[in-house]
Structures are given as structure tokens and as C-alpha cells.
């Protein structure tokens, strides 16, 4: 056993234990760690926003010499006055903080929403909607490797029947009776299996994170043998 003498490790270990203490019940140590996390996160994002966005993407474009001390790569760049437009829109967003002129912020917000919606719509349509439909149109008899593949055929049958049954389950224009009812029932099974897989993966993720924290406490902090 070789306990760490690094103050950072001790702080991290103490905060980890404070968060774990919630498993017993809510307590002031947990609250302290939780609030500290929120505060530090907010500060981190603020600093990142300034140095990774405002400095290189705004000030560095409008007046490059202003950021040369931090971004030597901007030295010699020509100013791009058009970037004053995003500066104005950025300032408009802040008018939300001044109630009498808060409405003006909608101009900037509208631009943000319009751009995001327009960009996302085309890509979602191409990659998720059309792309996914395209990839569901597979041959039910898998001969892709040049000969008959039983595994591939079963895969394709499950894929195609699962998609069709899942869609029929959400098709409410026809009563779920007879053939439609049976296919819909199969659709429920498909959905349940997928929910089960998702839940299993979630459990796996949480245990992985617990393992990571435990490895930190046991090896990095307490210095016990081993090491993951």
C-alpha cells in the first residue's frame, strides 16, 4: 500500500467519496460536491467559450493583432470586417437581459434557429430518413459473399421483419386485429427486445464508470497493488 501524496489525487478522491455518500442518503457532503461541480463546470465552459470561441472566431477575425499574443498563427492575417455582423447579432442576444428591448433578441434567436433547422433538416433527411430506408432494403436471401449465407439471411429476415412489424405497431389507422394484430404483436416483441438491449447497455455503462472510479480510489489514491 502506497498512498498518494499528490494533493490533486486527494481532492479527487474526497469528492468521489462525497458523491458516493448519496448512495446511503442525501447529506451536506454530497450537496457540497454537487454544488462545487456545477460551479466549476460553469466556470470551465465560460473560459472555454472565451478562449476557444470569442478570441479566435470573433476578435481574431475583426482585428487579428488583438489575439496575436495567444494565437500567433493569426499574425499577418487581414481583418475581416464582415465579422462585425455576428458581433452585432451576439450583442442582440444579450438584450434579453434588458426587459424594455428584450424583443430585439428574437432577431438573433431567429437566425440561430433558422440556420440550425435548415442545416439539420437536410442532413437528417439524407442520413437518417432516406439513408436508413435505403439500408433496410436488403436481399432476404444473403448471397453477398458469393454463396448462400445462413447467418446473413437470418440477419436480413430479422432486420426487415422487425422494421415492418415495428412500423405497423405504430400504425393506428387500422384496428390491430387479425393479421395486423399479429404483426403488431410481433412489433411489440421487437420493441421490447430493443428496450432490453438498451437497458442492458446502460447497466454496462454505469458499471464501467463505477469500475473506473474504484480503480482510481484503489490504485491511484490508496496505491494498492495492481492497476487498471
Partner 1 sequence: MSNMLEKVGTLDRRFIYIFIALAVIIPLLAQLEFPVKPSPIVDAIFDHIDAMPPGSKLILTADYGPSTVPENQPMFEAVARHALHKGLKLYVLTIWATGPPMIEDMKEAVIDVDFPNMVEGTDWINLGYKAGNQGVINSAFSNFRQAFPTDINGANIDDVPMMDGIERLADFDMIVAIGSGFPGVKEWIQFGGDPSDVPMAGGVTAVEAPLLYPYYPSQLLGLMGGLQGAAEYEAALVAAYPQFEPTSTQAIKNMGPQTVAHIVIIIFIILGNISYLAGDRKSKLGGGQA
Min CB(98)–partner 1 separation in Å: 25
**Which span (2-10, 44-52, 84-92, 96-104) binds partner 1, by CB under 8 A?**
44-52
Q: Which is nearer to partner 1, 53 or 103 (CB)?
A: 53
Candidate list 131, 133, 140, 182; residue touching partner 1; CB under 8 A: 131
Least Cα distance to 215 among 10, 5, 13, 11 occurs for 13
144 touches partner 1 (CB under 8 A): no
Min CB(1)–partner 1 separation in Å: 11
27 touches partner 1 (CB under 8 A): no
Q: Which is nearer to partner 1, 44 or 189 (CB)?
A: 44
Binding-site string for partner 1 from residue 150 to residue 189, where x marks contact by CB under 8 A and - marks none: ----------------------------------------
128 touches partner 1 (CB under 8 A): yes
Map the chain to HEC letters: CCCCCCHHHHHHHHHHHHHHHHHCCCCHHHHHHHHHHHHHHHHHHHHHHHHHHHHHHHHHHHCHHHHCCCCHHHCCCCCCHHHHHHHHHHHHHHHHHCHHHHHHHHHHHHHHHHHHHHHHHHHHHHHHHHHHHHHHCCCCCCCCCCCCCHHHHHHHHHHHHHHHHHHHHCCCCCCCCHHHHHHHHHHHHHHHHHHHHHHHHHHHHHHHHHHHHHHHHHHHHCCCCCCC
Q: Which is nearer to partner 1, 57 or 103 (CB)?
A: 57
How many residues bind to partner 1 according to rule CB under 8 A? 52
Q: Which is nearer to partner 1, 32 or 45 (CB)?
A: 45
Cβ neighbors of 12 (< 8 A, separation 6 or more) are 216, 221
Residues 51-80 that bind partner 1 (CB under 8 A): 52-53, 56-57, 70-75
Q: Which residues bind partner 1 (CB under 8 A)?
A: 23-24, 44-45, 48-49, 52-53, 56-57, 70-75, 115, 119-120, 123-124, 126-128, 131-132, 134-135, 194, 197-198, 201-205, 207-215, 218-219, 224-228
Amino acid at each position: 500500500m502506497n498512498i498518494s501524496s499528490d494533493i490533486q489525487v486527494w481532492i479527487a478522491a474526497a469528492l468521489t467519496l462525497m458523491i458516493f455518500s448519496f448512495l446511503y442518503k442525501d447529506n451536506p457532503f454530497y450537496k457540497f460536491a454537487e454544488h462545487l461541480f456545477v460551479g466549476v463546470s460553469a466556470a470551465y465552459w465560460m473560459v472555454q467559450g472565451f478562449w476557444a470561441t470569442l478570441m479566435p472566431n470573433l476578435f481574431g477575425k475583426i482585428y487579428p493583432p488583438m489575439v496575436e499574443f495567444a494565437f500567433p498563427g493569426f499574425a499577418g492575417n487581414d481583418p475581416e470586417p464582415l465579422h462585425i455582423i455576428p458581433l452585432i447579432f451576439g450583442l442582440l442576444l444579450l438584450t434579453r437581459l434588458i426587459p424594455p428591448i428584450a424583443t430585439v433578441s428574437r432577431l438573433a434567436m431567429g437566425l440561430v434557429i433558422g440556420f440550425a433547422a435548415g442545416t439539420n433538416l437536410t442532413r437528417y433527411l439524407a442520413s437518417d430518413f432516406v439513408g436508413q430506408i435505403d439500408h433496410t432494403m436488403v436481399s432476404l436471401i444473403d448471397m453477398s459473399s458469393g454463396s448462400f449465407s445462413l447467418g446473413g439471411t437470418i440477419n436480413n429476415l430479422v432486420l426487415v421483419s422487425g422494421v415492418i412489424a415495428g412500423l405497423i405497431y405504430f400504425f393506428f389507422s387500422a384496428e390491430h386485429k387479425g393479421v395486423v394484430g399479429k404483426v403488431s404483436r410481433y412489433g411489440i416483441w421487437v420493441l421490447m427486445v430493443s428496450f432490453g438491449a438498451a437497458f442492458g447497455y446502460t447497466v454496462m455503462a454505469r458499471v464501467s464508470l463505477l469500475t473506473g472510479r474504484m480503480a482510481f480510489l484503489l490504485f491511484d489514491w490508496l496505491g494498492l497493488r495492481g492497476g487498471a
